[in-house]
Amino acid sequence: MLKIGLKIWSTNLQYIPIARELFKRRVFDYIELFTVPGSIGTLSSWKQLAVPYILHAPHSTAGLNPSDAACREKNIELAREVEQFFYGLMPWLVIFHPGVNGRLSESMDQFKSFGKNFPAMYDKVVIENKPLIGLNNETCLGASPEEVKRLLEGTKRGFCLDFNHAICYSVCAGKDWKNVLAEFMELKPSMYHLCDGFFSVKDDHEHLGAGEFDLPYLIKLIDKDKPVSLETKKDSSDFLEDFVLDVKKLREYAGV
């Protein structure tokens, strides 16, 4: 049975009453919570919601860049904040990005340092693949199946397969997107990110059915025992009706 996740930010406290109702209605099965730096004061509110969680650590745009040696101290401090959310919410998994404009070996070294500093949290860490070109034209690490495989082997961590990012990489690299996905699937994802989008070098987060992806094909690849977070955009900062419609479409495509 599909385990569907609602992705929101730790600062999105306005969604809590709506999320509580949607969870009761079994619209979703867990929240993927992006831990915004400096928002640890919101932890008690998320804890009171009493739903299962997956955490998403800050990415490079939010200040955490594991591929940059100059950011080591800052990255540890940001990871320490994620650890506070970890102990407060006891999530299924914790997602990290590999970093931008740096070295893959540095990313591996810093992930290992997270393991030494935060061993309990590190046991739950999964690494997400990225598009080759970021939204601000940065070069993202962990875009190709080869790089992700090196990261996973070097860190002994699990894998979060982002379908949108994989397709963007395939366009940038001039490779067949189905072949790229087949290579990523060989890495045995622990979870997935899903949205609609376009065959472009940069990622978008369209509602299901609003882009040009072959969604039935993508959904068939999903291990139904693994979590899949919907990363579709939010049309309103106050309501989640668009998310409810995306979940309905996901279930229709999946035949559940």
Write down the H helix ranges in the chain: 16-24, 43-49, 72-89, 104-117, 119-122, 145-155, 163-173, 177-185, 215-221, 241-254
Look up residue 199 and give its amino acid.
F
Query: Would you call 28 helix, strand, or coil by DSSP?
Result: coil
The fold of 3-254 is TIM Barrel (3.20.20)
Q: What are 101's two structure tokens?
A: 């404009």
Q: Enter the pTM of the model.
A: 0.97
The tens-digit pLDDT sequence of the chain (256 residues) is 899 999 999 999 999 999 999 999 999 999 999 999 999 999 999 999 999 999 999 998 888 999 999 999 999 999 999 999 999 999 999 999 999 999 999 999 999 999 999 999 999 999 999 999 988 889 999 999 999 999 999 999 999 999 999 999 999 999 999 999 999 999 999 999 999 999 999 998 999 999 999 999 999 999 999 999 999 999 988 899 999 999 999 999 998 6
Q: Is 206 helix (H, G, I), strand (E, B) or coil?
A: strand
Query: What ranges do the domains of the chain cover?
Result: 3-254
